Amino acid sequence: MASDARTVELNGRSYQWPEQPVVVVCIDGSEPGYVEAAVETGKAPFFERILAEGTNRLADCVIPSFTNPNNMSIVTGTPPNVHGIAANFFHDRDSGEDVMTNTPKFLWVDTIFKAFFDAGGKVAIVTAKDKLTSMLGHGLDFSSGRAIGFSSEKSDKTTMANNGIDRADQFVGLPVPEVYSADLSAFIFAAGVKLVERDRPDLMYLSTTDYIQHKYAPGTPVANDFYIMMDGYLSQLDDMGCVIALTADHGMNAKHNDAGDPDAIYLQDIIDEWDLGGQNGDGTARVVLTITDPYVVHHGALGSFCTVYLSDGTDEDAIAEKIRGLDGVLAVYNRADGCAEFELPEERMGDLIVISEKHKVLGSSAASHDLSGLNEPLRSHGGLTEQKVPLLMNKPSPGLDDDRRLRNFDIFDVALNFAG
């Protein structure tokens, strides 16, 4: 990374130094339609103005359309085969263990926060869940007075040494929210307003949870209320002169049948019934659900993308063809083809990549999924049908090509280089 007074270079991109605070918001699970529905209520004036006068585009997220790979793409400006985070969860072939990708040891490149911090800037990162904080804040000196990073979830445990702030909950003036609540996201916006008032960071990143989007479709009263809440806080940041750019890590779709039950393909159960040369159910073909993270209550670890690990000597093509024949399967790729198609690191993917159709999800064995927390019909993500996400900014973007295929990880480029 090289920088001067005007630009910062990172991962093959050049970013202009901001003249006012730049706030990038990742609205977890925000498929196109949520913002528009909230605007139709007449109670979301900030979003209404963005749609009419600012930048209002669609972008493609990373596949798999999960939280970790997309957040890390957004903050590095790169696809997963560059930054290394291919999913929320993967099977580490070297160690033989299943691991969650929520620590910096899996990250291959620097983030935009480290780049601007190293160039003398002030940065702030506030997430809803704690799982991303160590990766997002990797390389920052929180004792410097120029870096802050914490989650709503652990806001009562922050220290100056580890987070750049003592007792963030007291600073924000709100109690620590429940993890499975809209309040977890509301907290980050309240924190963002307080931080801009006090510090005016050069860059600030706010990343919400998709608790609401997993439960409520666009236009429903609860979803509208969530976006109206956001609108109020974003209006305050707008009034303070911030450039505000918003995107999502992934979209969301209904994944249930007419009875309201998850419409799941329990792939491990199915494969274990197949004749694989007399080795049925012994791990010859193992399904790994890469949506898995520490917070699965609201989706039961059911998403539209999974990988299959095969033992040596297994007929990969034959199993792939049988999976393609299953009702509800959209696509099956071998590792090389799938990683080339979706810009994924091969060493962190299984032998097969399986993607389900829009309203289907993929599971392992039915008995392994705890669905007791699903008190509304399942909505989830992970596949190609959740790839389209909004890319919005409270400024027009002169010079941004109308024909350019935008990715959600172009959001800092748009905010820093094109805000008019």
Does 353 lie in the same domain as 225?
no
Is residue 131 situated within a structural domain? yes
Helical (H) or strand (E) element with 268: helix 267-273
Rounded to whole angstroms, the Cα distance separating 97 from 88 reads: 14
Angstrom distance (rounded) from CA 295 to CA 179: 9
In a domain, 395, yes or no: yes
Task: Give the span between the Cα atoms of 16 and 414, in whole angstroms.
Answer: 10
> Is 258 domain-assigned?
no
392 forms bridges with which residues in the sheet? 56, 246
254: phi then psi, degrees, rounded to nearest 5 = -65, 135
Q: What is the pLDDT of residue 373?
A: 72
Instruction: Establish if 259 belongs to a structural domain.
Output: no
Strand order in the sheet with 329-334: 285-288, 305-310, 352-356, 329-334
Give pTM, 2 decimals. 0.94
Domain-embedded: residue 134: yes
Distance CA 285, CA 91 (A): 13
Show the tokens assigned to 90: 């993967």
Kindly state the helix (H) or strand (E) to which residue 114 belongs, with its residue range. Answer: helix 112-118
Residue 2 lies in a domain: no
**Cβ atoms of residues 326 and 273 within 8 Å:** no
- What region does 146 belong to: left with phi over 0, alpha with psi -120 to 50, or beta? alpha
Which CATH number fits the domain that encloses residue 14?
3.40.720.10
Provide CB contacts within 8 A for 221, sequence distance 6+.
none
The tally of domains found in the chain comes to 2
Q: Are 279 and 352 contained in the same domain?
A: yes
- Residue 389 and residue 372 in one domain: no
Range of the domain at 240: 7-252+382-417
Same domain, 351 and 388: no
User: How far from 295 is each of 117, 153, 226, 291, 379, CA to CA, in Å?
Assistant: 30, 12, 20, 10, 15
* Distance in angstroms (rounded) separating the CA atoms of residues 177 and 183: 6
> Is there a single domain that holds both residue 184 and residue 45?
yes
Domain membership of residue 1 (yes or no) is: no
Residue 227 counted as domain residue: yes
> Do residue 340 and residue 323 come from a single domain?
yes
Provide the residue-wise pLDDT of the chain in tens; the chain has 420 residues: 344 458 999 999 999 999 999 999 999 999 999 999 999 999 999 999 999 999 999 999 999 999 999 999 999 999 999 999 998 888 887 788 888 888 899 999 999 999 999 999 999 999 999 989 999 999 999 999 999 999 999 999 999 999 999 999 999 999 999 999 999 999 999 999 999 999 999 999 999 999 999 999 999 999 999 999 999 999 999 999 999 999 999 999 999 999 988 999 999 999 999 866 544 445 688 899 888 765 565 567 899 999 999 988 889 999 999 999 999 999 999 999 999 999 999 999 999 999 999 999 999 998 888 777 777 889 999 999 999 999 999 999 999 999 999 999 999 999 999 999
Show the tokens assigned to 2: 């090289």
Q: CB–CB of 305/63 below 8 Å?
A: yes
3-state secondary structure of 58: strand
Report pLDDT for 355.
Answer: 98
Picking from 10, 24, 17, the residue whose alpha carbon sits closest to that of residue 114 is 10
Query: Cis (ω within 30 of 0) for the bond into 64?
Result: yes
Distance from the first to the final alpha carbon of the chain: 26
Report the distance separating Cα 284 and Cα 266, nearest Å: 16
Residue 86 in contact with residue 348, Cβ under 8 Å?
yes
| The pLDDT of residue 96 | 80
> b/e string for 63-94 if b means 16 or more Cβ within 10 A?
bbbbbbbbbbbbbbbbbbbbbbbbbbbbbeee
Pairing of strands 13-16, 361-363: unpaired
Residues 387, 353 within the same domain: no
- Domain co-membership, 135 together with 38: yes
Distance CA 45, CA 212 (A): 21
Q: What is the 3-state secondary structure (H, E, C) of 306-371?
A: EEEEECCCCCHHHHHHHHHCCCCEEEEEEHHHHHHHHCCCHHHCCCEEEEECCCCEEECCHHHCCC
Does residue 193 sit in the same domain as residue 276?
A: no
Does residue 283 share a domain with residue 247?
no
- Residue 393's closest CA among 59, 152, 116? 59
Distance CA 208, CA 186 (A): 8
The CATH number assigned to the domain holding 348 equals 3.30.1360.110
230 and 374 co-located in one domain: no
Is the domain of 85 the same as that of 74? yes
Residues 315, 277: Cα–Cα separation, whole Å: 10
